[in-house]
Structure 1
Amino acid sequence: MPVSSALSTALSGIRTTQQQLGVTSANIANAKSTGYSRQTISSTAQVANSRVYGVEANQVTREINLLVQKQWRTSQANSAYADTRVTALSALDSYWGAPNSSSSLNSIYGDFSTTLQKLATTPNDTATQGSAVSAAQNLVSRLNQLSGDVQSLRQEAESNIANAVSRVNALLSTIADLDKQVVAVGAGGTNSTSALQDKRDAAIDELSEYMDIHVTDQPGGGIAISLTDGTQLYDDVAVTLSFDQQGVVDASRVYSTEDSQRSLGTIRISSGPGSGVDLFKSGSIRSGKIAAYKELRDETLVNAQAQLDTIAATLSKATSTRQASGTAVGDATTAGYTLDISGLTEGNTLKVEYTDASGAKGAITFVAYKGGTAPGNGFTPEPGDTVVGIDLTSATDVGAQIANALNAATGGSDFSGSVSTSGSTSTVSLSATTVPASHGSITSVVGEISSGEQDGYQAYPLFVDGSTGKAYTGLTNGTDTITGLAARISVNPKVVADPSLTVKYGSDTLSGDGTRPQAILDALDSRVYSYSASIGIGSATTPFKGTFEGLLSQVVNTQGALVEDAQNVADGQSVVTSNLKERYDNSRSVDLDTELMALIQLQTSYSANARVLSVAQELMDTLMNTFK
């Protein structure tokens, strides 16, 4: 090999070794730097015409396990989703209070129940009457407060979505800038892009906390980012997201895929690829913080509000409506029932069980309404329940409307009905002819009918909807107003002004008559209701049934179980994410022992190449001295 070739080869070796030394020294210096990935640089022999004439350094690369990185980002999105839910649900659970806490809804209801028991035994004690009203006020005040707490959490979720969208836009912009730099610098050949890639990865890692993303490598060192459903977020151009945040969130505010019915914010791609796409409507965001915030705002906390509203509705209905059973009547040609329907108002129900001419049994639940659209089968939570509206504004009286519906259901004309009024008492009479050998019959008539403060019945409107001043019945001007009832429920101002109404159900009620408070206690502790599956308890086919107290306990237990399940999911996901994070960090971490060994090897290589230069120099000097 000519001396000049030896010089050239040794110089290339020194240059390559210097570059490798630079990479190694960078690794040692950044051994503890957050987000730094170990760099390596390999070398390749320079070959021309089958002859090696030197060595050259390749481009600097990072030591990183890309498969583990991908798995960790997916797991991190799931962990962020689970942790976000746990945080909100734990806050909600703390609002409810521990079962034995004096501020818990169970305890406050217990105080109210205890006061009613005392009032039932000492009805003429004015102090106890006042205590009963105060206990009732404490109960509704706690419901009002809990409803406000739930809506505060929904408001917080709405704000958090807005903040998350702002951060996502900033991260996508940063990623786009860094990605362009990576491609530009990488096009220079041996120029290192590792530091830029580390910065880009850090931004992508943070992005994965907010949403479930998929990263794809592109030619030239670039990347593309999409949601796991394929919606593109970045591919040379970053999208910009928008969120139309609503200023005030209350129980009436809902999310809907129909913009005309939506009163909460949604995320859209406002510019870039896919502009105009509604990411909430398409269900594109499936994990991460944003998915958790949306689920809390639109499902979990909506269910919590529905549970509170159902508690408030049951509290109002159980105390303000009387359960009336029909009285059997008949003569030589007809048999049926009469029922006192005094006070019948919209939302009240009458259930009629019957047998048709063939002997088949049936039942219809009649719901009173005041004009407009008649209630349908969905008015009651019972599956397969047949509901028929009876229009209180119709010229046809209630009895005739019921009879017409029974005849239509049986395909005959056996049934008849009418209403009679005597003073303040209205009575419906329902009957079936007994003359034909084969005929239909009425087997039972029961009603749930509203009562006033002093109309002779034990039930009375102790708890009312603050917006109407009336007890909740299920319908107000043709609409179910249960949503937000927990925030509006209050103690009847008339009862607050005159606590004796907790005892006096008529003008002639004796001072020692404890019938009314005992009847209220019985209604709350014994009357069984069926509850809609929309509150997150029971199902459409098997609705939860229970007393008011049973509903209260079930809701508290459901909330506790929800938090426990969420915590278990979060804990399990945390273990997976932590393990993947450890593997991810280990795959790119710097081991100082390894780097020091490499440093020794590079030192030896550098010395060897320097020795070659020295020998070549000596040979050149000898050659020059020969010709002097």
Structure 2
Amino acid sequence: MSTLNSALSSALSGLRTTQAGLELVSTNVANATTAGYVRKTLTTTETTAGGESNGVKTAEITRQIDIYLQRQLRTETSGAAYASTKSKYLDTLQTTFGTPGSALSLDTAVSNFQTSLDALAASPDDGSARSAVLAQAQVMAQTLNSTSSAVQSLRSDADNGIASSVDSANQALKTIESLSKQIVQAKIKGSSASGLEDMRDQAIDTLSQLIDLRVEDRGSGDIAIKTGSGLSLYDGGKASELSFTAATPMTPSTTYPGTLSGVMLTRGDGAPTDLLKSSNLRSGSIKALAEIRDQTGPQAQRQLDEMAANLAQTLGTKTVPAATVAGGVDLSTQGAQPGDQLNATYTVGGVTKTLTIVNVGDPSKLPLSDKVTADPNDTVIGVDFSAPDAAAQLTTALSGKGLSMTAAATATGFALTTTDATTTAVTAGQSAITATALSGDGLALPMFVDGDAGQVYSGSLDGSSQITGFAGRIQVNGALLDDPTALTSYATDTTAADEARPTFLRDALKAQRSFGSDTGLSGTSSSYKGSLVQYAAAAINFQAAASSTAAGVADGQSLVVSTLSDRFTATSGVDVDDEMTNLITLQTAYSANARVITAVKDMMDMLLRI
């Protein structure tokens, strides 16, 4: 009888185990298309009594997951989120700059403006030619205004994107914290936590799109999550918190670091860390958004500002050649505006070099960096031309730069001479002075001004640098719109048919110029050289190339993620065909156990009838 009881017990345990297996197959099949669901399998163990087997029991429900592949997928997912976000914004930026030669592109606006000046130079007394010049000038200014506004809108969108991503990251971290606590408790009670682990993995996957991360198993169901650089996001049952403040409004002068917010990570120990500093983030959408806001957008703005500045200065700057004096040159400062420059050429040991002296009234901006000008090889000095001791200040600055020169005040400016003719020779010089009036200030014309107030553009460094955001403020001089004859009339005795000023403006616009190295058009350390039309085309091509490269990287990264995802699904997802095979096996086992029970029952009935 005991043998029959043992057989009955074994068969009943087999039925229970088979039933649990059938339920698990049903759950797997039902969730075959559920995002984040990992296939579960049932682990069984033999039961014994008195050293003999007396059945089977379920041990635990196991998730069939490839941890290494999951880790690799999360790394690539973070990279894909970075690449796709970057590509999306760069594509928008390229659209903003336009296509070379298209109707609304920057180079077309410059080219049309140049063509109108060609026509005016050919027919200076033609009123319609003057009107065409002013119309094209306004198109030029409006194109720069609208493009600048679009760049700032793009930066603002990226800033808001960071804010939204930070909220999503905090929500994911809170979810991970809550689920981890439930998983640990389930493990302690001996209950299955596989469903909770699926949900936690989904939250981690969401977080991996925002921030590059790595997950460490702490055992007993708990984990630790750190950024790729090692900063703790979740550990010891406590999630870190991110904080960020969106900017309102976004302007060219709002920068990071500076007035724009970083992404602050406050960990369990309360120590805040800015994730945007020191490469604390290596990939993820937050990093991409920060780069658009703090690097790509500002560089695009500098390209526009440099174009606007050169447009205003090439037409509105008069060049005054230096007078020759014993041992050097006399540089004029008459009518100099803040930001105007004096240039001197000198030789040391037979090598020709350039000195640039900038009119700076703000002492907090001194001494100037040599990178202030577009020439990467000149020596730059800042001096307040109007100061009573300007010559003495200049002499001190020259000595500080190791130059064997001295400056003396003259009736018109500064006499710059060598103090050691055996080593240094000051050979030539000129003054670049901003014209402020429509007439009586030479051929140069302040056609483009800074803002509604009509302030001339001179590249002033006093206070906030005038070039910053100038593309958004550039306008056609209102006084010129009121008096179009000033396009030809540069002095009281100028006739309407005088072609001198139109010719000067046309040639100045076509002339080769040097543009700042911070535009990135010729690398990081050299200035771009070319006409304004060429510069505009180069800026458009720069954005197009950046967008194309980003799109290629995004496509490649997407393919990697797709491949890894397919591999992960193959190993950890539900294969319905496999589950049906398991179902048939379980059905057979269930039927067999049921037949054993029937047989045992029949035997017991026979024994009871004896």
TM-score by length of 2: 0.92
Q: Which residue of 2 aligns with 1:368?
A: 359
Q: Which residue of 2 aligns with 1:122?
A: 123
Name the amino acid aligned to 1:533.
S
Name the amino acid aligned to 1:532.
G
Moved more, 547-556 or 440-449: 440-449
Q: Secondary structure at the match of 2:45?
A: strand
Moved more, 118-127 or 347-356: 347-356
Name the amino acid aligned to 1:315.
L
Q: Displacement, 1:278?
A: 2.5
Q: Secondary structure at the match of 1:192?
A: coil
Q: Which residue of 2 aligns with 1:503?
A: 488
Per the alignment, do residues 429 and 509 of structure 1 end up closer, same or farther by CA in structure 2, a change over 3 Å counting? Answer: farther
Q: 1:545 aligns with which of 529, 543, 552?
A: 529
Q: Displacement, 1:371?
A: 5.9
Q: Which residue of 1 aligns with 2:259?
A: 263
Name the amino acid aligned to 2:209.
E
Equivalent-residue separation in structure 1 for 2:423 and 2:231 (angstroms): 66
Q: Displacement, 1:4?
A: 1.7
8 Å contact kept, 1:253–1:264 = yes
Identity of aligned residues (%): 36
Within the alignment, does 1:474 sit opposite 2:459 as a pair? yes
Within the alignment, does 1:602 sit opposite 2:593 as a pair? no
1:548-604 deviations in Å (ceiling 9; x for gaps): 223212211111111011111111111101111111122222222222222222222
Moved more, 607-616 or 339-348: 339-348
Name the amino acid aligned to 1:561.
A
Per the alignment, do residues 79 and 152 of structure 1 end up closer, same or farther by CA in structure 2, a change over 3 Å counting? Answer: same
Q: Which residue of 1 aligns with 2:214?
A: 214
1:73-98 deviations in Å (ceiling 9; x for gaps): 11111111111111111111112222
Q: Which residue of 1 aligns with 2:475?
A: 490
Q: 1:350 aligns with which of 335, 342, 348?
A: 342
Q: Which residue of 1 aligns with 2:446?
A: 461
8 Å contact kept, 1:418–1:430 = no
Within the alignment, does 1:386 sit opposite 2:371 as a pair? no
Q: Which residue of 2 aligns with 1:168?
A: 169
Moved more, 90-99 or 612-621: 612-621
Name the amino acid aligned to 1:622.
M
Per the alignment, do residues 275 and 394 of structure 1 end up closer, same or farther by CA in structure 2, a change over 3 Å counting? Answer: closer
> What are the equivalent positions in structure 2 for 1:301-340 lying under 5 Å apart?
301-326=297-322, 328=324, 334=326, 337=329
Per the alignment, do residues 342 and 591 of structure 1 end up closer, same or farther by CA in structure 2, a change over 3 Å counting? Answer: same
Q: Secondary structure at the match of 2:55?
A: strand
Equivalent-residue separation in structure 2 for 1:40 and 1:96 (angstroms): 56
8 Å contact kept, 2:353–2:378 = no
Moved more, 92-101 or 149-158: 92-101
Equivalent-residue separation in structure 2 for 1:304 and 1:474 (angstroms): 19
Q: Displacement, 1:137?
A: 1.1
Name the amino acid aligned to 1:501.
A
Name the amino acid aligned to 1:289.
S
Equivalent-residue separation in structure 1 for 2:466 and 2:579 (angstroms): 72
Moved more, 494-503 or 602-611: 602-611
Equivalent-residue separation in structure 1 for 2:171 and 2:262 (angstroms): 19
Q: Secondary structure at the match of 2:465?
A: coil
> What are the equivalent positions in structure 2 for 1:494-533 lying under 5 Å apart?
494-529=479-514, 531-533=515-517
Q: Displacement, 1:169?
A: 1.6
Equivalent-residue separation in structure 1 for 2:13 and 2:417 (angstroms): 112
Per the alignment, do residues 397 and 616 of structure 1 end up closer, same or farther by CA in structure 2, a change over 3 Å counting? Answer: closer
Equivalent-residue separation in structure 1 for 2:115 and 2:305 (angstroms): 23
Moved more, 538-547 or 569-578: 538-547
Name the amino acid aligned to 1:155.
S
> What are the equivalent positions in structure 2 for 1:113-262 lying under 5 Å apart?
113-189=114-190, 191-235=191-235, 236-256=237-257, 262=258
Equivalent-residue separation in structure 1 for 2:456 and 2:207 (angstroms): 50
Q: Displacement, 1:382?
A: 3.0
Q: Displacement, 1:293?
A: 0.9
Q: Displacement, 1:381?
A: 3.8
Per the alignment, do residues 528 and 31 of structure 1 end up closer, same or farther by CA in structure 2, a change over 3 Å counting? Answer: closer
Within the alignment, does 1:623 sit opposite 2:610 as a pair? no
Per the alignment, do residues 168 and 620 of structure 1 end up closer, same or farther by CA in structure 2, a change over 3 Å counting? Answer: same
Q: Displacement, 1:298?
A: 0.5
Equivalent-residue separation in structure 2 for 1:442 and 1:224 (angstroms): 68
Q: Secondary structure at the match of 2:230?
A: coil
Q: 1:563 aligns with which of 526, 541, 547?
A: 547
8 Å contact kept, 1:397–1:419 = no
Q: Secondary structure at the match of 2:493?
A: coil
Equivalent-residue separation in structure 2 for 1:493 and 1:136 (angstroms): 12
Q: Displacement, 1:396?
A: 4.7
Per the alignment, do residues 416 and 110 of structure 1 end up closer, same or farther by CA in structure 2, a change over 3 Å counting? Answer: closer
Per the alignment, do residues 598 and 315 of structure 1 end up closer, same or farther by CA in structure 2, a change over 3 Å counting? Answer: same
Q: Which residue of 2 aligns with 1:77?
A: 78
Q: Which residue of 2 aligns with 1:423?
A: none
8 Å contact kept, 1:532–1:540 = no
Q: Which residue of 2 aligns with 1:579?
A: 563
8 Å contact kept, 2:106–2:537 = no
Equivalent-residue separation in structure 2 for 1:603 and 1:151 (angstroms): 66
Q: Displacement, 1:407?
A: 8.1
Equivalent-residue separation in structure 2 for 1:527 and 1:553 (angstroms): 14
Q: Secondary structure at the match of 1:153?
A: helix
Aligned length: 605
1:282-341 deviations in Å (ceiling 9; x for gaps): 542321111111111111101011111111111111111123333556xxxx46555655
Equivalent-residue separation in structure 2 for 1:284 and 1:40 (angstroms): 39
> What are the equivalent positions in structure 2 for 1:405-424 lying under 5 Å apart?
418-420=409-411
Equivalent-residue separation in structure 2 for 1:176 and 1:401 (angstroms): 63
Supply the RMSD in Å over aligned alpha carbons.
2.7
Equivalent-residue separation in structure 2 for 1:39 and 1:437 (angstroms): 89
Within the alignment, does 1:276 sit opposite 2:269 as a pair? no
8 Å contact kept, 2:144–2:304 = yes
Q: Secondary structure at the match of 2:359?
A: strand
Q: Which residue of 1 aligns with 2:285?
A: 289
Q: Secondary structure at the match of 2:274?
A: coil
Moved more, 298-307 or 191-200: 191-200
Name the amino acid aligned to 2:229.
D
1:97-134 deviations in Å (ceiling 9; x for gaps): 22232111111111111111111111111222122112
Q: Displacement, 1:497?
A: 1.2
8 Å contact kept, 2:46–2:55 = yes
Equivalent-residue separation in structure 2 for 1:410 and 1:158 (angstroms): 45
TM-score by length of 1: 0.89
8 Å contact kept, 2:113–2:136 = yes
Equivalent-residue separation in structure 1 for 2:362 and 2:587 (angstroms): 96
